[in-house]
Amino acid sequence: MGTMKQYKNWLEHPYFDEPTKSELAAIANNHKEIEDRFYRDLEFGTGGLRGLIGAGTNRMNRYVVRKTSQGLANFLKNQKSTALSIAIAYDSRHKSREFAEESARVFTRNGIKTYLFDELKPTPELSFAVRHLHCNAGIVITASHNPKEYNGYKVYGEDGGQLPLELSNAVLAEVDAISDITTIQVMELDKAKATGLLVMIGQQVDDAYMTALKSLSVTRLDQDINYPIIYTPIHGSGNKPVRRILKEVGFNHVYVVPQQELPDPDFSTVKYPNPEERAVFELAIEMARQKDAEMIIGTDPDCDRIGVVVRNRDGQYATLSGNQTGCLMMEFILNNLQQQGRLPSNGFVVKTIVTTELARAIAKAYQVKLIEVLTGFKFIGEQILLREDRGNEKYLFGFEESYGYLAGTFARDKDAVVAAMLIAQMFAWYKSRGMTLDDGMTELYEKYGFAREGLDSFTLKGKDGLEKIQQAMSLLRQKKAELFGNIGIKAVRDYECGIRTVVETGKEEPTGLPESNVLCYETVNDFWFCVRPSGTEPKIKIYYGVTGQTLMESEKALELLKNQVLSVLKPLLTE
Q: Which amino acid is at 85?
A: S
Q: What is the Cα–Cα distance from 397 to 331, expressed in whole angstroms?
A: 10
Report the half-sphere exposure of 387 (CA within 13 A, side-chain side).
Answer: 19
Pairing assessment for the beta strands 369-373 and 347-352 based on DSSP bridges: parallel
Q: Which residues pair with 296 in a beta bridge?
A: 230, 309
Residue 12's contacts (CB-CB under 8 Å, 6 or more residues apart) are 21
Instruction: Verify whether residue 567 is a known catalytic residue.
Output: no
Count other C-beta atoms under 10 Å from residue 366's C-beta: 17
Distances (CA, A) of 22 to 25, 26, 28, 36, 61: 5, 6, 10, 17, 14
All residues at 6 or more sequence positions from 464 whose CB lies less than 8 Å from its CB, including other chains: none
- Count of Cβ atoms closer than 10 Å to residue 186 Cβ: 20
CB 458 within 8 A of CB 540: yes
CA nearest to 45, candidates 571, 541, 544:
541
Q: Which residues contact 570 (CB under 8 A, 6 or more apart)?
A: none
Question: With contact defined as beta carbons under 8 Å apart, do 229 and 425 qualify?
Answer: no
Q: Is 82 exposed, middle or buried (0-12, 13-18, 19+ CB in 10 A)?
A: exposed
Q: Do residues 432 and 417 touch, judged by C-beta distance below 8 A? A: no
Q: Which one of 96, 103, 127, 144 is the catalytic residue? A: 144
What pairing do the DSSP bridges indicate for beta strands 44-45 and 113-117?
unpaired
* Residues designated as active site: 144
